[in-house]
């Protein structure tokens, strides 16, 4: 018998709000978090907009000395983790700390620290580089700082699997609790990579939308006129607990996680497999793990990046996985509103998936105007939909052909 694992808390920092309530309300209103970049001068850039986190001040929960020692992605992770732990009512003490862990992943870590300290090295030599540069920038320091802040002495780890990193963190945490390595995991993803080098690099790859005249309509997953993703940032954290542990402490349960799949395309460093093989296999593996049939899935929170190839081949994979049922289930991409938060995306979208189950409402794919013959599913276009479903599937795919799939279920005692 597998140990059942449930969700008892959420935390978010996104371009649409710095907490769960604000972000979720914006999702249901169909509001875009895109705008012109404020973090740096974009005069010489071909892409001048992004989905930046707004009005976020780490000094609201850290003192100035602490904040300076951390990267921006760690600030986001700490804020979202604080909210999630408070939301769950979890109390860490000497009797349980060794079975409570943290697994917070990132695709890049802190690009800001890398660029800033490199400039200091070139301008003033090696003695100018900050002693905090390494702990500011490396990927596992988000999890490390959350562990230190809350006294979490269980597993403390991170992965850097590009845009699947947040989903891998949640899936791996699910496995840890299933097999008894932890009772509780604070898990998800965090990213802060809207920097000159990052934007220039993604633009050079022609991965970003260039809709500079209308940023809020630039992210348009599955639309025939999509031209690239909009880079985002933030953090999405959930609290996973063994059902026995959650019930024993009287926790409120929002959803259950029941399936996790991983696969590799073995195809190309950045392009998706044109047969949809990797995404097809990862969805099949997750459903097998959950012990359910394709017909039981009611909603898919798609990877849906708004790039020409991703949306086409993810749609193909859904049709190959679900057959005729593909036309009966609802699909949406919340990246149409948050942008693509890279390693944080899987964590953010796990929160949305669980909230969709708990509140019986499906967030929309906004900016959908022109149908694409290759993308012909029910994408919950432009307006949220009141609908009760039993199972939600969430996809996350990353460069290098790495894929993750999570399945959430409506909680039943």
- The DSSP secondary-structure symbol of 348 reads H
Going by pLDDT thresholds of 50, 70 and 90, the confidence category of residue 1 is confident
| Inter-axis angle of helices 277-290 and 308-322, nearest 10 | 40
Instruction: Judge whether 292 and 393 are in contact, CB under 8 Å.
Output: no
pLDDT value at residue 103: 98
Give one DSSP letter per residue of 116-161, joined into a string.
Answer: HHHHHHHHH-GGGS-TTHHHHHSTTHHHHHHHHHHT--S-EE----
Instruction: Judge whether 350 and 239 are in contact, CB under 8 Å.
Output: no
Give one DSSP letter per residue of 276-300, joined into a string.
Answer: -HHHHHHHHHHHHHHT--GGGEEEE
pTM above 0.75, yes or no: yes
CATH of the domain at 131: 3.40.47.10
Q: What is the pLDDT of residues 100-148, one digit of tens each?
A: 999 999 999 999 999 999 999 999 999 999 999 999 999 999 999 999 9
Sign of CA dihedral 221, 32, 269, 343: negative
pLDDT, mean of residues 259-270 = 96
Please report, rounded to a whole number, the percentage of residues in the chain having pLDDT higher than 90.
98
Tokens at residue 216, please? 């809020």
pLDDT value at residue 98: 98
The pair phi, psi for residue 106, each rounded to 5°, is -155, 150
Q: Please give the sequence-ordered ranges of beta strands (E in DSSP) within 225-294, or none if there are none.
A: 234-242, 255-264
First and final C-alpha spacing in the chain? 16
pLDDT value at residue 2: 85
3-state class (DSSP) for residue 383 = coil
Query: Distance (Å, rounded) from C-alpha 177 to C-alpha 185?
Result: 8
pLDDT value at residue 102: 98
pLDDT, mean of residues 178-182 = 97
pLDDT value at residue 187: 98
Please report, rounded to a whole number, the percentage of residues in the chain having pLDDT higher than 70.
100
Q: Name the residue with tokens 């802040």.
A: 149
Query: Distance (Å, rounded) from C-alpha 390 to C-alpha 291?
Result: 14
Q: What is the pLDDT of residues 193-240, one digit of tens each?
A: 999 999 999 999 999 999 999 999 999 999 999 999 999 999 999 999
Q: Which residue is catalytic, options 51, 303, 375, 405?
A: 303
Query: Distance (Å, rounded) from C-alpha 20 to C-alpha 263?
Result: 30
Instruction: Judge whether 394 and 258 are in contact, CB under 8 Å.
Output: no
Q: Name the residue with tokens 């189950």.
A: 357
Tokens at residue 256, please? 């259950």
Q: Which residue is catalytic, options 163, 187, 375, 405?
A: 163
Catalytic-residue membership of 303:
yes
pLDDT value at residue 413: 82
Query: Distance (Å, rounded) from C-alpha 217 to C-alpha 228?
Result: 12
Catalytic-residue membership of 51:
no
Q: Provide the number of structural domains found in the chain.
A: 1
Catalytic-residue membership of 118:
no
Query: Distance (Å, rounded) from C-alpha 321 to C-alpha 284?
Result: 7
Q: What is the pLDDT of residues 307-324, one digit of tens each?
A: 999 999 999 999 999 999
Domain span at residue 9 reads: 1-413
């Amino acid at each position: 018998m597998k140990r059942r694992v449930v969700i008892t808390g959420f935390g978010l920092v996104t371009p649409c709000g710095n907490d769960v309530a604000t972000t979720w309300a914006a999702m249901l209103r169909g509001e875009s978090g895109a705008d012109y970049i404020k973090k740096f001068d974009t005069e010489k850039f071909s892409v001048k907009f992004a989905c930046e986190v707004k009005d976020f001040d780490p000094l609201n929960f850290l003192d100035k000395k602490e904040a300076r020692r951390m990267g921006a992605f760690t600030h986001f992770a700490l804020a979202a983790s604080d909210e999630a732990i408070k939301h769950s009512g979890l109390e860490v003490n000497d009797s349980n700390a060794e079975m409570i862990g943290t697994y917070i992943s990132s695709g890049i870590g802190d690009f800001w620290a890398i660029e800033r300290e490199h400039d200091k090295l070139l301008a003033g030599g090696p003695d100018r580089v900050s002693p905090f540069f390494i702990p500011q920038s490396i990927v596992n320091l988000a999890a490390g700082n959350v562990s230190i802040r809350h006294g979490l002495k269980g597993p403390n780890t991170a992965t850097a699997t590009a845009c699947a990193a947040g989903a891998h963190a949640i899936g791996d945490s699910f496995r840890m609790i299933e097999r008894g390595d932890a009772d509780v995991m604070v898990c998800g993803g965090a990213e802060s990579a809207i920097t000159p080098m990052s934007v220039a690099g993604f633009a050079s790859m022609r991965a970003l939308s260039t809709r500079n005249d209308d940023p809020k309509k630039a992210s348009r997953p599955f639309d025939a006129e999509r031209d690239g993703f909009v880079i985002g940032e933030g953090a999405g954290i959930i609290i996973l607990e063994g059902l026995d542990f959650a019930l024993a402490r009287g926790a409120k349960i929002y959803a259950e996680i029941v399936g996790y799949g991983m696969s590799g395309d073995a195809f190309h460093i950045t392009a998706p497999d044109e047969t949809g093989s990797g995404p097809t296999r990862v969805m099949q593996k997750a459903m097998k793990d959950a012990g359910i049939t394709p017909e039981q899935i009611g909603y898919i929170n798609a990877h849906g990046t708004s790039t020409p190839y991703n949306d086409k081949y993810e749609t193909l994979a859904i049709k190959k996985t679900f057959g005729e049922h593909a036309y009966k289930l609802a699909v949406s991409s919340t990246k149409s509103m948050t942008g693509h938060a890279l390693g944080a995306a899987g964590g953010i979208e796990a929160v949305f998936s669980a909230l969709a189950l708990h509140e019986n409402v499906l967030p929309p794919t906004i900016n959908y105007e022109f149908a694409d013959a290759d993308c012909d599913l029910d994408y919950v276009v432009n307006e949220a939909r009141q609908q009760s479903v039993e199972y939600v599937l969430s996809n996350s795919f990353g460069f290098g052909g790495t894929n993750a799939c999570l399945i959430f279920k409506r909680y039943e005692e």
